[in-house]
Amino acid sequence: MLHNSVTDKLWGLFHALNSLQFGQRLRRLQEWARAYVSHEIVLKKLVALNARATQFKLTFASSQAYRTSNQVDRLINYPDRILYQMQYFHGSEHSTQMALRAMALLWNFHPYCQKIQGDCAFTCSPFRDLNGFSYHNHWLKNLLIASSLNGTGMGNFLNTN
């Protein structure tokens, strides 16, 4: 019961239309929490939101800004799992950096699953979505060309738009 009430109020807070409405909803949340939340830890966390209100309000300066970090969190989960499997940083800083760069490079060029490709005919990889073109139809050849000097715009490439 408390969990549902708190999550509903928090989502209402993040769905505010502007910073003034956000501030008002935050004040109402604080009042509600002090009156109805008896769990000390939950109350402490809800009251602590006030200290970060100015940071949260920054998102209202841009209408395109996201209110939560879900999209970033989803991307970070993959490297976090890989690092966990590597037992984090048991090698040198350089080897860790190279492993993360290789992982990011592969992630940017790997083809999407068939379901995603079926939903949108022109979507095949993050690289193509970001740049609007591919050097080659095969993802590995596309990676090799893009990561070589031939990918700097010198010469011809296969435009698959």
Q: pLDDT of 120-156, one tens digit each?
A: 666 678 888 888 888 888 888 888 888 886 555 544 4
Q: Taking a C-beta distance cutoff of 8 angstroms, is the pair 145, 128 a contact?
A: no
Distance in angstroms (rounded) separating the CA atoms of residues 39 and 36 = 9
Kindly provide the residue ranges of all beta strands, DSSP E only, lying in the chain, ordered along the sequence: none
Q: pLDDT of 5-44, one tens digit each?
A: 999 999 898 888 899 999 999 999 999 999 999 999 999 9
Distance in angstroms (rounded) separating the CA atoms of residues 57 and 75 = 24
Q: pLDDT of 49-96, one tens digit each?
A: 989 999 888 888 887 777 677 777 877 888 888 888 877 777 788 888
| Residue-level pLDDT at 48 | 92
